[in-house]
Structure 1
Amino acid sequence: MRYDLDDLRLFTHVAAEGSITGGARVMHLSLPSASARVRALEAQAGVPLLIRERRGVRLTPAGATLARHAREVLAETTRLDSAVASYAVSRTEPIRLVAGGSAMHQLVPAALATFLRDHPEYDVNVSERRTIRSVRLLAAGEADLGVILDDEPTDLRTEPLADDSLVVIGQAGGVLSGRTSIAYAEVAEHPLVGLDRGSPLTQWMEDRLGPHAPVARYRTIVPTLHTLITLATAGAGLAIVPRRAVDASTAVEICPLQDAWSTRAHLLCYAADAPESAHLLAAQLHAAASVRV
């Protein structure tokens, strides 16, 4: 048997409303038209689907079965339409976002999660880059939007986003307990855990420490901020990380650095011809940055 989807939709409304009149109203049909459609369904099924009463209708067992399966068919049709429609949307070029490792730890994922959910018409390509590289890509038109640090001069449009100052973290109750600040020279006297040398944060620090900085002893080198914070929290060694990377619920000692280079901030940086979609993503990055960590 072949069923018309509109007939099935009408029948589910009749079942929900308890009357053909109510079903017709929901479907914006005249009562004679709706009645004719229901009779055609019954003729096709070969069994009564409704019991007509003075104040409405009741489903027969066959009608209840039809209504249940009709709802399932209509729901599956809706999912099918949605799946196919996603390919029919006029696709735009993906937004090209560049950001450093610090922003990639929490800020960018939080913003993307909401943006991609709320804007199914846009895709985003994300690359992790040092600020100096991000600015070059934006200036060349090879990226649309960047989360950069505030220490790289550029003629491109920028706007403040969030503090990204560095702090020292260590096991709760450990050597940092009770300290209000600490200099890097003293930090280097303790065993450390750090990020690998290819990470943007490590390269940024090496550029500012210079060749005469105290030589630190790293107990281990790891690839991600998440692993770094986990090890420092467990007491494997002290670690230097962006303050925003440490969740407020983490049981860890946090101590600001006294060194001037540790104070820094994130900026949003736009390419000269950034598309409107990049501005929508920028708004979501601002929203994510406003959430306290």
Structure 2
Amino acid sequence: MRYDLDDLRLFVHVVTEGSITAGARRMLLSLPSASARVRSLERHAGVELLIRERRGVRPTPAGVTLLRHARDVLAQTALLEGAVAGYARTSSAPLVLLAGGSAMHRFVPQALVSFLRAHPDVDVTVEECPTPRTVRRLAEGEADLGIIQDDEAADRDLRTEPLGDDSLVVIGRVGGVLAGRGALRYREAAEHPLIGPGRDSSLQRWIDKHVGPHAPAPRYRTHVADLTTVITLAMAGVGLAVVPSRAVAEHTPVETCALQDGWARRRQLLCWGAGTREPSAAVTALARHLRAAAGAEEPTRLDAPPRPEEP
């Protein structure tokens, strides 16, 4: 047997309201049309479904059974429609955002929360990616936005804007070897056991690139995948750690010393992909949420990408 979904909806409304007239009103049908549909449903089922009384209708035992299953069918149909509609709502490919581990640690997640809540019909693919690879992918049009270090996109025809300071500091347990120190050089920190980020992480690559051949070979107690674990281990006194200052939340119980080496002073830039000369409203909105999460001001350059108002 095949049942018409509108007939099942009508039947549910009729039984719920206790009246064919009221059920017809819920379905925006005329009374004759609703009555004809109910009679057709009964003929289709081969059994009486309603007991018609002077003041309304009530279901027969067969009608009670049909009511229960009709509600289940209609509920499952609604779930099916919602699941399929979820794919139809996003009419374009997801935005692609690339960022290093420092940005991924705190403000990228904050930006994603606010952006995805404000734009339920826009999806975002986020990848952790070292700056050189991020720049290459942006230049080749493989990503919409990227967060990079300093001026590593200077030789590319890509638009950038400052997102804020990302300088490095050394952290260790409270009362440990850093107590009372305001700043030190990397060679001093490397005399102590260190906790390192992942060996292939953007931060570890940055450190290895800049410390130079004359720096003491550090002893790493361990390398861990994310900055949260690095900070937790340093806080526990397992070793010192070199991390971005903005990765250390306020009131974190650690000793913090600035690194005096020039390479430790870094800036983060928001970089626009080669395919975003005329960015979509979604890309522009994502950039705005990233600025807000990073605490950066809106760009004022005349050549900055246009920023239409968010809906």
- TM-score, normalised by the number of residues in structure 1: 0.78
Secondary structure, in 3 states, of the residue corresponding to 2:183? Answer: coil
**CA–CA distance in 2 between the matches of 1:42 and 1:176?**
84
Alpha-carbon spacing, 1:21–1:240, altered in 2? closer, same or farther (3 Å): farther
Alpha-carbon spacing, 1:256–1:263, altered in 2? closer, same or farther (3 Å): farther
**CA–CA distance in 2 between the matches of 1:53 and 1:148?**
77
Structure 2 unmatched ranges of 5 or more = 296-311
**CA–CA distance in 2 between the matches of 1:247 and 1:38?**
66
Matched ranges for 1:165-244 at <5 A = 165-176=167-178, 179=180, 181-185=182-186, 186-244=188-246
**CA–CA distance in 1 between the matches of 2:92 and 2:181?**
50
The answer on whether the counterparts of 2:178 and 2:257 sit within 8 Å (CA) in structure 1 is no
**CA–CA distance in 2 between the matches of 1:64 and 1:52?**
16
1:193 is displaced (CA, Å) by 0.9
Secondary structure, in 3 states, of the residue corresponding to 1:257? Answer: strand
Matched ranges for 1:16-95 at <5 A = 16-45=16-45, 46-49=47-50, 52=53, 54=55, 56-85=56-85, 92-95=92-95
1:34 is displaced (CA, Å) by 1.8
Q: Quote the residue 1:282 is aligned against.
A: 287
Aligned partner letter, 1:241: V
Q: Quote the residue 1:164 is aligned against.
A: 166
Q: Quote the residue 1:142 is aligned against.
A: 142
**CA–CA distance in 1 between the matches of 2:105 and 2:213?**
28
**CA–CA distance in 2 between the matches of 1:17 and 1:11?**
10
The answer on whether the counterparts of 1:166 and 1:262 sit within 8 Å (CA) in structure 2 is yes
**CA–CA distance in 1 between the matches of 2:103 and 2:57?**
61
**CA–CA distance in 2 between the matches of 1:21 and 1:203?**
74
Q: Quote the residue 2:256 is aligned against.
A: 255
The answer on whether the counterparts of 2:169 and 2:259 sit within 8 Å (CA) in structure 1 is no
The answer on whether the counterparts of 1:167 and 1:254 sit within 8 Å (CA) in structure 2 is no
Alpha-carbon spacing, 1:168–1:65, altered in 2? closer, same or farther (3 Å): farther
After the TM superposition, which of the residue ranges 220-229 and 232-241 deviates more from structure 2? Answer: 220-229
Structure 1 unmatched ranges of 5 or more = none
Q: Quote the residue 1:13 is aligned against.
A: 13
Secondary structure, in 3 states, of the residue corresponding to 2:152? Answer: coil
Alpha-carbon spacing, 1:61–1:105, altered in 2? closer, same or farther (3 Å): farther
**CA–CA distance in 2 between the matches of 1:174 and 1:20?**
81
The answer on whether the counterparts of 2:50 and 2:60 sit within 8 Å (CA) in structure 1 is yes
Secondary structure, in 3 states, of the residue corresponding to 2:191? Answer: coil
Alpha-carbon spacing, 1:256–1:69, altered in 2? closer, same or farther (3 Å): farther
After the TM superposition, which of the residue ranges 278-287 and 8-17 deviates more from structure 2? Answer: 278-287
The answer on whether the counterparts of 1:176 and 1:253 sit within 8 Å (CA) in structure 2 is no
Percent identity between the two aligned chains = 59
1:206 is displaced (CA, Å) by 3.1
1:247 is displaced (CA, Å) by 5.3
Root-mean-square deviation (Å): 3.4
**CA–CA distance in 2 between the matches of 1:180 and 1:9?**
74
**CA–CA distance in 2 between the matches of 1:248 and 1:14?**
61
**CA–CA distance in 2 between the matches of 1:174 and 1:53?**
88
